[in-house]
């Protein structure tokens, strides 16, 4: 089961301290390149580079970070859980009373066993995150705070993999690698994308060219677009932002801004047949890099196929979003299969025209029962229904929607009809 393989990869990447810049991003990309996708290109953009309205921020490095309690215990130790440190915390070393320290602590009263995930990318701050239970157990007295971090001119990194197809028209997949140890809202994305890229790279032929990127969210996609959007606007015909594809609780869809692109059509088609109860969100519920890909003037046809969406499950952005209870091999496999179904449909979504006028005589081709009874068999009926829409105006997906069956039920029928010279791809 491929879900186990994907889950293994997620475990391999779990402990790395990813952020929007820094060593954690590079280590993540290098691991994927080294073990799974040798053709992955790891690229960099220098701190300070202007990317549209934004500036690539400094690189962040954490050597150590912790707090010493009045009793001499080390708590909030970054080396034990990287969520303890507010992301992008500036260096700090000092002593302070608990009442003062409290201003720098973040916890979740409603989820007393969860360490929250907090960042401060665009204003220099420091802080620690801890469970409410631990916070409540702190005693008065003097605490020593140690944050041995650096913010320095360095690079923002991302990974890019392009698989050339017969056509220069592209299908685009984007995922993000900027959260530390979290599972559904981080590792499910790059791990599923990696296995999709592996599958596509091993296909004997591809119609479309595939562009995969692994970027830090927001600043990464903006940086990438600032370099590539003109070419992408010209070539990208469909794509998905891949995030939160690892739990078992639901399937979900976030539309592109346009809402009617082929990516949207395919996503809704696949999800309808995989899970009729899938949750259909609106553009107003967006929250990942589709915000950039679909921004006015960029306008790429990017939708999202997800399991349980960011912000819609209780463990989101906490230490509880883990690889045990939230993200599972079965959940990852579901996310992988949904996206793979979608990519397969895009590959095969051509338009066909029947070669003859009126219905073909299927009987003499062995495609039809020769004995007329009360009912025709369902396979024959499906084939005749398909042919009836092969008018050169309906795509495979259009026809699947008209006949109300999964598009993949038609692949074999198409092969049969093409081999009998009854339909022609146009």
Among 294, 302, 303, 345, binds a second copy (CB under 8 A): 294
Judged by CB under 8 A, which stretch of 193-201, 206-214, 246-254, 286-294 contacts a second copy? 286-294
Inter-CA distances, 80 with 16, 114, 204, 285, 327, Å? 11, 15, 45, 34, 21
Among 356, 380, 412, 418, binds a second copy (CB under 8 A): 356
Judged by CB under 8 A, which stretch of 59-67, 239-247, 353-361, 409-417 contacts a second copy? 353-361
Q: Is the dihedral of CA 164, 165, 168, 171 positive or negative?
A: negative
Taking the C-alpha atoms of residue 60 and residue 126, their distance in angstroms, rounded to an integer, is: 12
b/e map of 130-162 (b: 16 or more CB within 10 Å)? bbbebbeebeeeebbbbbebebeebbbbbbbbe
State in angstroms the smallest separation of the CB of 410 from a second copy: 14
Q: Is 363 in the site for a second copy (CB under 8 A)?
A: yes
State in angstroms the smallest separation of the CB of 104 from a second copy: 12
State in angstroms the smallest separation of the CB of 298 from a second copy: 6
Q: By the 8 A CB rule, do 291 and 243 touch?
A: no
Residues between 17 and 76 with contacts to a second copy, criterion CB under 8 A: 52-55
- Cβ proximity to a second copy: between 17 and 194 the closer is 17
Q: Is 228 in the site for a second copy (CB under 8 A)?
A: no
| Closest alpha carbon to 347 in 170, 168, 207 | 207
Give the pair of three-digit tokens for residue 126.
Answer: 């420091």
Q: Is 311 in the site for a second copy (CB under 8 A)?
A: yes
State in angstroms the smallest separation of the CB of 374 from a second copy: 5
Taking the C-alpha atoms of residue 415 and residue 426, their distance in angstroms, rounded to an integer, is: 15
Taking the C-alpha atoms of residue 82 and residue 415, their distance in angstroms, rounded to an integer, is: 52
Q: Is 103 in the site for a second copy (CB under 8 A)?
A: no
Q: Is 295 in the site for a second copy (CB under 8 A)?
A: yes
State in angstroms the smallest separation of the CB of 424 from a second copy: 11
Q: What is the DSSP string of 80-139?
A: T-GGGBPBTPPPEEEEEEHHHHGGGEE--TTSTT--B--B-SSS----EE--HHHHHTPP
Among 204, 276, 374, 378, binds a second copy (CB under 8 A): 374
Among 60, 78, 128, 229, binds a second copy (CB under 8 A): 229
Taking the C-alpha atoms of residue 200 and residue 308, their distance in angstroms, rounded to an integer, is: 25
Which residues are near a second copy by CB under 8 A?
A: 52-55, 116, 118-123, 125, 218, 221-222, 225-226, 229, 257, 283-284, 286, 291-292, 294-299, 311, 316-317, 353-354, 356-361, 363-364, 370-375, 384-385, 388-392, 402-404
């Amino acid at each position: 089961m491929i879900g186990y393989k994907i889950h293994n990869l997620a475990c391999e990447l779990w402990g790395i301290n990813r952020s929007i810049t820094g060593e954690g991003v590079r280590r993540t990309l290098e691991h994927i390149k080294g073990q799974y996708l040798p053709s992955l290109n790891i690229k960099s953009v220098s701190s300070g580079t202007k990317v549209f309205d934004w500036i690539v921020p400094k690189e962040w490095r954490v050597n150590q970070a912790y707090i010493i309690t009045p009793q001499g215990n080390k708590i909030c130790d970054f080396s034990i859980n990287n969520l303890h440190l507010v992301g992008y915390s500036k260096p700090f070393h000092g002593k302070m009373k608990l009442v003062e320290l409290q201003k720098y602590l973040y916890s979740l009263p409603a989820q007393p066993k969860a360490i929250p995930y907090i960042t401060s990318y665009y204003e220099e701050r420091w802080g620690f995150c801890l469970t409410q239970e631990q916070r409540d157990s702190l005693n008065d007295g003097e605490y020593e705070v140690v944050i041995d971090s650096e913010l320095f001119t360095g690079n923002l990194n991302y990974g890019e993999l392009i698989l050339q197809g017969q056509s220069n028209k592209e299908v685009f997949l984007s995922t993000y690698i900027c959260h530390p140890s979290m599972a559904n809202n981080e590792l499910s994305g790059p791990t599923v994308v990696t296995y999709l890229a592996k599958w596509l790279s091993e296909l004997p032929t591809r119609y479309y060219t595939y562009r995969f990127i692994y970027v830090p969210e927001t600043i990464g996609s903006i940086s990438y677009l600032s370099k590539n959007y003109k070419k992408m606007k010209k070539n990208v015909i469909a794509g998905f932002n891949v995030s939160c594809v690892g739990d078992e609780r639901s399937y979900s869809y976030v539309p592109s801004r346009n809402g009617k692109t082929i990516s949207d059509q395919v996503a809704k088609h696949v999800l309808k047949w995989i899970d009729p109860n899938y949750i259909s969100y609106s553009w107003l519920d967006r929250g990942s890099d589709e915000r950039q890909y679909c921004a006015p003037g960029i306008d790429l046809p990017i939708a999202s196929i997800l399991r349980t969406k960011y912000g819609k499950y209780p463990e989101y952005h906490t230490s509880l979003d883990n690889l045990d209870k939230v993200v599972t091999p079965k959940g990852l496999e579901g996310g992988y299969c949904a996206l793979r179904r979608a990519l397969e449909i895009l590959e095969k979504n051509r338009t066909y025209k029947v070669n003859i006028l009126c219905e073909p005589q299927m009987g003499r081709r062995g495609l039809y029962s020769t004995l007329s009874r009360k009912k025709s068999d369902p396979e024959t009926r499906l084939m005749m229904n398909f042919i009836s829409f092969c008018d050169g105006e309906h795509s495979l997906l259009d026809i699947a929607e008209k006949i109300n069956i999964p598009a993949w039920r038609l692949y074999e029928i198409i092969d049969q009809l093409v081999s009998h010279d009854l339909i022609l791809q146009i």
